[in-house]
Chains A and B, each alone.
Chain A
Amino acid sequence: MKMRINPLTIKKINRFKSIRRGYYSFILFSIMILLSIFAEVMVNKRALIVKYEGSIYFPIYRSMIPGTTFGFDYEYETNYRDLKKKMQEQKNGNWLLMPPIPYDPFENDLREGEYPPYPPDITTQHYLGTDTIGRDLTARLVYGFRICIFFSLILLVLTYMIGVAIGCIMGYYGGKFDLIFQRVIEIWTNVPFLYVIIIISSIIVPSFWILILIMTFFGWISMTWTMRTITYKEKEREYTLAAKAMGAGDMRIIFRHILPNTVSVIVSYIPFAISSGIMVLTSLDYLGFGLPPPTPSWGELLNQGWENMHAWWIVASVIVAMLVTLTCVTFIGEAIREAFDPKRHTIYE
Chain B
Amino acid sequence: MKQTLKLKWFGIIFLSFLIFLPLCSANPSLPDNIKWLTNDTDPVYASENAQKGGTLRLSLLSFPMTFRTVGPDSNSSFRGYILNNQLSLTDIHPNTLNVIPGLATHWAFGDDKKTMYFKLNKNAQWSDGKDITASDFAYTLEFMRSKHIIAPWYNDYYTKEIEKVIIYDEDTLAVVSTKAVPDLHLKLSIQPTPSHFYKNLGKGFVRKYNWKIVPNTGPYQIGKFKKGKKIEFKRKKEWWGKDLRYFKNRFNVDKVLFKVVKDFNIQWEHFKKAKIDTFAVNLPKFWHEKCKTPVVDKGYVEKIWFFNDKERSANGMWLNEDKKIFADKNLRYAFAHAMNIEKVINLVLRNDYYRLEQHYVGYGKYSNDSIKARRFDIEKVDKYMKASGWQRGSDGIWTKGDLRFSVNVNYSFQEHTQRLVVLKEEAKKAGIELNLLKLDPAASFKKVLEKKHDVAWSAWSTALRPQFWEHYHSANAHKVQTNNITNTDDPELDKMIDMYRNSLDEKERIDLALKIQEKIYEIGSFVPTFMVPYIRQACWRWMRLPEIPGTRRSDGLFDPFDSSYGGLFWFDKTIYDETKKAMKTGRTFTPVTIINETYKMKTIR
**Chain A residues within CB distance 8 Å of chain B:** 63-64, 66, 74-77, 106-108, 110-112, 115, 132-135, 202-205, 288, 292-294, 310
Contacts and interface: CB of A to CB of B under 8 A. Distances in A.
Contacts of A106: 421, 424-425
B422 A64 contact: no
A76 B348 contact: no
B190 to A, nearest CB: 40
Given A63-B394, A205-B439, A292-B437, A108 B421 contact: yes
Interface of B: 288-289, 343, 346-348, 350, 378, 382, 392, 394-396, 414, 417-418, 420-422, 424-425, 428-431, 435-440, 443
Among B289, B421, B428, max chain A CB count under 10 A is at: B421
13 contacts: A64-B394, A75-B431, A76-B428, A108-B421, A108-B422, A110-B343, A112-B346, A115-B347, A133-B421, A134-B347, A135-B421, A205-B437, A294-B417
B340 to A, nearest CB: 11
A106 B434 CA distance: 13
B406 to A, nearest CB: 14
B347 A112 contact: yes
Contacts of B420: 293
Nearest to A205: B437
Contacts of B289: 310
A70 to B, nearest CB: 15
Given A106-B425, A110-B343, A76 B378 contact: yes
A294 B436 contact: yes
Contact of B417 (A64, A74, A293): A293
Given A203-B443, A292-B436, A293-B436, A76 B418 contact: no
A134 B346 CA distance: 13
Majority SS at the chain B contact face: helix
Q: Identify the 4 closest CB pairs spanning chains A and B, nearest first.
A: A202-B440, A63-B394, A76-B429, A110-B347
A202 B395 CA distance: 31
A75 B392 contact: yes
Contact of A202 (B422, B428, B439): B439
A76 B396 contact: yes
Nearest to B435: A292
Contact of B443 (A76, A111, A202): A202
B350 to A, nearest CB: 6
A63 B425 CA distance: 17
Contacts of A66: 392, 396
B343 A77 contact: no
Given A106-B424, A112-B347, 11 more contacts: A64-B396, A74-B378, A76-B428, A106-B421, A108-B421, A110-B343, A115-B288, A134-B347, A292-B437, A292-B438, A294-B424
Nearest to B410: A205
A64 B395 contact: yes
B351 to A, nearest CB: 10
A294 B421 contact: yes
A108 B436 CA distance: 16
Contacts of A288: 414, 438
A271 B175 CA distance: 76
A39 B443 CA distance: 36
Nearest to B412: A202
A76 B437 CA distance: 24
B429 A74 contact: yes
A115 B350 contact: yes
B343 to A, nearest CB: 7
Contacts of A115: 288, 347-348, 350
Nearest to B424: A294
A133 B348 contact: yes
B339 to A, nearest CB: 15
Among B378, B418, B430, max chain A CB count under 10 A is at: B418
A76 B431 CA distance: 7
B411 to A, nearest CB: 10
Given A106-B421, A288-B438, A292-B436, A63 B395 contact: yes
Contacts of B394: 63-64
Contacts of B438: 205, 288, 292-293
A274 to B, nearest CB: 27
Among B350, B435, B443, max chain A CB count under 10 A is at: B443
A303 to B, nearest CB: 8
B200 to A, nearest CB: 46
B421 A110 contact: no
A82 to B, nearest CB: 13
B525 to A, nearest CB: 23
A106 B428 CA distance: 11
Contacts of B382: 75
A45 to B, nearest CB: 11
B425 A203 contact: no
B84 to A, nearest CB: 34
Nearest to B343: A110
B161 to A, nearest CB: 36
A108 B437 CA distance: 19
A106 B424 CA distance: 9
Contacts of A292: 435-438
A288 B348 CA distance: 21
A79 B217 CA distance: 66
A77 B421 contact: no
A233 to B, nearest CB: 47
Contacts of B378: 74-76
B78 to A, nearest CB: 27
A59 to B, nearest CB: 13
A310 B289 CA distance: 10
B499 to A, nearest CB: 42
Nearest to B443: A203
Contacts of A294: 417, 421, 424, 436
A64 B397 CA distance: 10
Contacts of B437: 205, 292
A110 to B, nearest CB: 4
A76 B436 contact: no
B429 A77 contact: yes
Contact of B425 (A107, A112, A204, A310): A107
Nearest to A310: B289
Among A77, A106, A132, A202, max chain B CB count under 10 A is at: A202
B293 to A, nearest CB: 12
B422 A110 contact: yes
A75 B398 CA distance: 12
A75 B432 CA distance: 13
Among A133, A134, A135, max chain B CB count under 10 A is at: A133
B255 to A, nearest CB: 35
A75 B431 CA distance: 9
Contacts of A74: 378, 429
A292 B439 CA distance: 10
A133 B421 CA distance: 8
Nearest to B392: A75
Among A74, A77, A203, max chain B CB count under 10 A is at: A203
Contacts of A63: 394-395
Among A63, A76, A106, A134, max chain B CB count under 10 A is at: A76
A292 B435 CA distance: 9
Contacts of A293: 417, 420-421, 436, 438
B342 to A, nearest CB: 12
Contacts of B417: 293-294
A106 B421 CA distance: 8
Nearest to A62: B394
Contacts of A202: 439-440, 443
A77 B396 contact: yes
A16 B418 CA distance: 46
A118 B547 CA distance: 40
Contacts of A205: 437-439
Contacts of B425: 106-108
A136 to B, nearest CB: 13
A118 B382 CA distance: 34
A118 to B, nearest CB: 12
